[in-house]
Amino acid sequence: MKRFVVEWTQPASKDFENIIDYISQDNVDTAITNFEKIKSKCNTLNQFPDRGRIVPELKAYGILSYRELIISPWRVIYRTSDRKVYVLAVIDSRRSMNEILIERFL
């Protein structure tokens, strides 16, 4: 099986950094655990890039090229192209997803 390369975009890296920084203000161990959990799940995309669901809020607009992994309470948005998986955003699912996704992807 050919593998994909998982690449984090700058906005996704910043999202991720902000999440970990925020969590670490309360509990460093929890921040480390969440860091490892998110990175580990995203790294599995190198073998199974289509495992995530199509982002429902974008699907409603006929946009089918973006997928997401749910790593509660976060949603990791990504797309694939040329044997690469581009991680585009890590978003807290408790926020208004329509506003965030439309702002970033439309």
pTM check: above 0.85: yes
What letter would DSSP give residue 94?
Answer: T
How would DSSP label each residue in 57-84? HHHTTT--S-EEEEETTEEEEEEEETTE
pLDDT for 95 equals: 76
pLDDT for 49 equals: 94
pLDDT for 94 equals: 80
The class that CATH gives domain 5-105 is alpha beta
Cα–Cα distance for residue pair 65/24, rounded to 1 Å: 33
Nearest Cα residue to 71 out of 15, 25, 21, 24: 15
Cα–Cα distance for residue pair 34/92, rounded to 1 Å: 13
The backbone torsions φ and ψ at residue 98, rounded to the nearest 5 degrees and listed phi first, read -55, -50
Q: How confident is the model at residue 18 (pLDDT cuts 50, 70, 90)?
A: very high
Q: pLDDT tens digits for 23-75?
A: 999 999 999 999 999 999 999 999 999 999 999 988 988 989 999 999 999 99
Cα–Cα distance for residue pair 98/31, rounded to 1 Å: 27
Q: How confident is the model at residue 106 (pLDDT cuts 50, 70, 90)?
A: low
| Mean of all residue pLDDT scores within the chain | 91
Q: pLDDT tens digits for 86-95?
A: 999 999 888 7
